[in-house]
């Protein structure tokens, strides 16, 4: 479990595609304190550390994960938002994030707004009802507050968020532009509420 507060930006330094896809990640984390089998969120995707060395570690992703997230587009040099898993007693700085990505959202617009950047996204199909103004959403592993929501057919929504200067500097959002895709995880409470109120088939 995570909170959507990114604590390092890592870099993909190697990719092995045989069976599951393996990624080698360079990081500033102190790997002496990270055990094999530990969970780390990578752009919001919970992955398990399978090997480690000086300043880098390996994770593996199944075919399901690669096809349902943005991991299939990663290349050597891709930068990724990292967050270590939450420990009991840690501060909940964002909102509860599970690392179980629901789908991929697309950036429709990016423009300056004061010292912030205003982004507009299109949600993946089936998750428009999981978004509400002033609600939470995790995008590429970053906990963000939804500003406005405009519904579209197919339970899709176009929604806006503001990225403050600190978040721009500490995550990959400074590099993102319209047309880029990001991993989308709906707020868990909103996900269950949407499920409960959705009409059932006769």
For the segment 88-126, what is each residue's pLDDT rounded down to a tens digit? Answer: 666 666 678 889 999 999 999 999 999 999 999 999 998
| 123, 192: one domain | yes
Q: Which residue has the tokens 């102190």?
A: 30
150, part of any domain: yes
Task: Check whether residue 123 and residue 151 sit in a common domain.
Answer: yes
Q: Any idea what the CATH number is for the domain that residue 123 is in?
A: 2.40.30.20
pLDDT for residue 121: 98
41 in any annotated domain: yes
Q: Please indicate, yes or no, if residue 166 is contained in any of the structural domains.
A: yes
Same domain, 38 and 72: yes
pTM for this model (two decimals): 0.91
The last residue of one of the domains, among 20, 51, 84, is 84
Q: How far is the CA of 126 from the CAs of 25, 114, 164, 177, 184, in angstroms?
A: 32, 33, 28, 24, 12
Residue range(s) defining the domain that contains residue 143: 103-197
pLDDT of residue 49: 97
What would the mean pLDDT of 14-24 be, rounded to a whole number? 94
The chain-wide mean pLDDT, for the chain, equals: 91
Angle at 146 between CA 183 and CA 77, to 5 degrees: 30
What pLDDT score does 195 carry? 66
Inside any domain, residue 149: yes
**pLDDT reading at 11 higher than 90:** yes
Q: Which residues contact 97 (CB under 8 A, 6 or more apart)?
A: 1, 2, 3, 4, 41, 44, 138, 141, 143, 185
Q: Does 76 share its domain with 31?
A: yes
Report d(CA 109, CA 45) in Å as an integer: 24
* Domain assignment present for 98: no
The pLDDT assigned to 202 comes to: 46
3-state SS class at 184? strand
Q: Answer yes or no: do 28 and 114 share one domain.
A: no
Taking the CB of residue 31, how many other CB atoms lie within 10 A of it? Answer: 16
Q: How many domains does the chain have?
A: 2
In a shared domain, residues 108 and 75: no
In a domain, 42, yes or no: yes
Is 60 domain-assigned?
Answer: yes
In a domain, 95, yes or no: no
Task: Return d(Cα 65, Cα 39) in angstroms, integer.
Answer: 15
d(CA 106, CA 139): 10
């Amino acid at each position: 479990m995570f909170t959507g507060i990114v604590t390092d930006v890592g870099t993909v330094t190697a990719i092995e595609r045989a069976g599951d896809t393996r990624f080698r990640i360079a990081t500033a984390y102190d790997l002496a304190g990270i055990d094999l089998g530990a969970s780390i969120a990578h752009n919001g995707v919970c992955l398990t550390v399978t090997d480690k060395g000086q300043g880098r570690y390996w994770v593996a992703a199944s075919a399901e994960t690669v096809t349902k997230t943005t991991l299939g587009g990663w290349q050597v040099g891709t930068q990724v938002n990292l967050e270590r898993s939450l420990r009991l007693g840690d501060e909940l700085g964002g909102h509860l994030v599970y690392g179980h990505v629901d789908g991929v959202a697309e950036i429709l617009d990016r423009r300056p707004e004061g010292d912030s950047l205003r982004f507009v996204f299109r949600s993946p199909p089936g998750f428009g009802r999981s978004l509400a103004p002033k609600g939470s959403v995790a995008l590429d592993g970053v906990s963000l507050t939804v500003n406005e929501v405009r519904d579209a057919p197919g339970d899709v929504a176009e929604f806006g968020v503001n990225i403050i200067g600190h978040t721009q500097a500490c995550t990959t959002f400074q590099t993102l532009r319209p047309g880029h895709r990001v991993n989308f995880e709906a707020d868990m409470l909103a996900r269950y509420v949407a499920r409960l109120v959705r009409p059932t088939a006769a």
